[in-house]
A = this chain, B = another copy of it.
Amino acid sequence: MKNFADNLLDKIDKKENPSDVGLDPRLNKIPKSIIEEMVGKFGKSFEAVGASFFEFNKRIIDAIKDIVPAVKPQMAFYEQYGFHGVKAFVDTAEYAKKKGLIVIEDAKRNDIGSTAQAYSDGHIGMVDFFDRKENSLNVDCITVNPYLGSDGVLPFIESVKNYGKGIFVLVKTSNPSSGEFQDVTTSEGVKNFVLVANNVKKWCEETVGKSGYGSVGAVVGATYPEQATELRKIMDKSIFLVPGYGAQGGGAKDVVPCFNKDGHGAIVNSSRGIIFAYEKGWKPEQFAEAAREAAMKMKEDICGALKQANRCSW
């Protein structure tokens, strides 16, 4: 069984690209030709929405599969359309894996005890299935919210160990209000997000692979480079999943502190900036071509900044 961190870093090195594409489809941004085809097949239904999402994603995946090591579908955009949306998510994840991509499920799941176990089993483990166990959603890794404490995280780490999967724990998120609870200073003089980071470091130790990195990673926003510098030192063996680049305002220079000096240790996400790149001067039907160009530009942008900072591993 391959270690998740080793697998991800291997794919990053082979493609010389520490970035991924967020697959966050929106109905009103999908080209008319796809919508018309699916409404023709399924009527104006949630099924048509799901089928449109999957078709859109397939074409994006085909256009970027040789450039990026991973895709990050955000579950919210799928499950908002109920089970037809979730089916589109499952189909997308399966398609991406067939094309050799790592699937990072952004779902920020969290609960306690047997309920956290159910999330863990369903997304990255195996579920009870009559007289045996069976894979269910079977993504490569999932984002997890730590507010409930270790009870809420350990069931996910069990699946990380048992099935060669990964998790990314929310530590310092990219949004403007992330500081409200995450940046509060404790009476012992540390910030809350540092407390979480200390736990991630501890959890990660037990999952370290041949690469020297572990499969318990952290979400650290590109919009807070100072905090990233601090967190990089604490969680030295964790891979950072870095949102906030592009549409949210983070630039290539801002993501550099998320990488270790060996040039490893982070994967930077862009969603809207890639999948809806067609909005900047292309025709809607050219969305896949536009996405490919934007993905290549992101790769060059980030690798350029890493090279300049002498943190590029190839």
Chain A interface residues (CB < 8 Å from chain B): 24, 26-28, 35, 39, 44, 46, 49, 74, 76-77, 79-87, 90, 108-113, 115-116, 118-119, 121-123, 127-130, 136-137, 145-152, 170, 173-182, 184-187, 189, 192, 195-196, 199
Taking CB atoms, residues of chain B closer than 8 Å to A39 are: 130
Alpha-carbon gap, A82 to B90, bound state (A): 8
Would you call B119 and A147 a contact (CB within 8 A)? no
Q: Known contacts being A39-B130, A76-B119, A180-B199, is A170 close to B147, with CB within 8 Å?
A: yes
B26 touches A146 (CB 8 A): no
Contacts A44-B130, A83-B87, A148-B177 aside, 7 further interface pairs with beta carbons under 8 A come to A24-B115, A27-B127, A27-B129, A83-B84, A146-B181, A152-B175, A186-B186
CB pair A82–B137 under 8 Å, yes or no, is yes
A189 to chain B, nearest CB (A): 7
B148 touches A173 (CB 8 A): yes
Bound-complex Cα distance A108 to B145 (A): 10
Chain B residues whose CB sits within 8 angstroms of the CB of A49 once the complex forms: 129
Q: Residue among A109, A121, A196 with the most chain B CB within 10 A?
A: A109
CA distance A39 to B130 in the complex (A): 10
Copies of this chain present in the complex amount to 2
Contacting pair B86 A79 (CB below 8 A): yes
Partner of A86, one of B86, B108, B113, B185: B86
Q: Interface majority SS on A: helix, strand, loop or mixed?
A: helix
Q: B177 contacts A81, CB within 8 Å?
A: no
Q: Provide the residues of chain B in CB contact with A179, threshold 8 Å.
A: 149
CB-nearest residue of chain B to A148:
B173
Instruction: Tell me if A181 and B192 are in contact (CB < 8 A).
Output: yes
Q: Bound complex: CA of A179 vs CA of B26, how far in Å? A: 38
Tell me which residues across on chain B come within 8 A of A152, comparing CB atoms.
Answer: 175, 177
In the complex the two chains form, is B175's CB within 8 Å of A149's CB? yes
Q: How far is the CA of A130 from the CA of B186 in the complex (A)?
A: 48
Contact present for B127 and A174 (CB under 8 Å): no
Query: In the docked arrangement, what's the CA distance between A129 and B27, Å?
Result: 7
| Known contacts A90-B82, A122-B80, A187-B189, A147 near B145 by CB under 8 Å | yes
Is A192 within 8 A of B189, CB to CB? no
B149 touches A147 (CB 8 A): no
Contacts A146-B181, A192-B192; is A112 near B174 (CB within 8 Å)? yes
- Determine the chain B residues whose CB is within 8 A of the CB of A145 once the complex forms: 108, 110, 145, 147
A97 to chain B, nearest CB (A): 15
With A and B bound together, what is the CA distance between A123 and B76 in angstroms? 10
**A108: chain B residues within 8 A (beta carbon):** 109-111, 145
Cross-interface CB contact of A80 among B118, B177, B185, B196, cutoff 8 Å: B118
Asked whether, in the complex, the Cβ of B150 is within 8 Å of the Cβ of A147, the reply is no
In Å, the complex CA distance between A140 and B263 comes to: 48
